[in-house]
Amino acid sequence: MEETTNANGKFVVLILYTSTNIPNCPYCDEARKWLVENKIKYIEIDIANNKKLQKKIYQKTESKNVPVVNIDGSYFRGWFKKSELKEIKEILKKD
C-alpha cells in the first residue's frame, strides 16, 4: 500500500477512485497528473463494477462523479479548484 506522511509523521493513504465506465476521463487524467507532479503517492481504485463501493462513495460525497480522492476518510469529489488542491496538500503537508 502506498503511504506518505503528514507533518505529524502519521502515515496517510491517498486513494484515487476512478471509473473505466468513463473512457479517457479528462478529470481523472488531470488528477493523476497533479498527484504525480506533486510527488504524492496514491492508490487508484476503479469503481466501475463495484456497486457496494459506488454506494459508499455516494454516501460520503453525495455525488456520482469521479474522480474522488479519499485521504484517511476525508473525501474530495470531482476534480478540484485551487483551494481544494491546497487543502489536499495541507493534509499531506506537501509543497
Average pLDDT over residues 22-26: 85
Cell of 40: 504524492
Average pLDDT over residues 22-37: 86
**pLDDT above 90 as % of the chain:** 28
**Three-point CA angle 8, 45, 82, nearest 5°:** 55
Is the per-residue pLDDT at 64 higher than 80? yes
Q: What is the pTM of this model?
A: 0.77
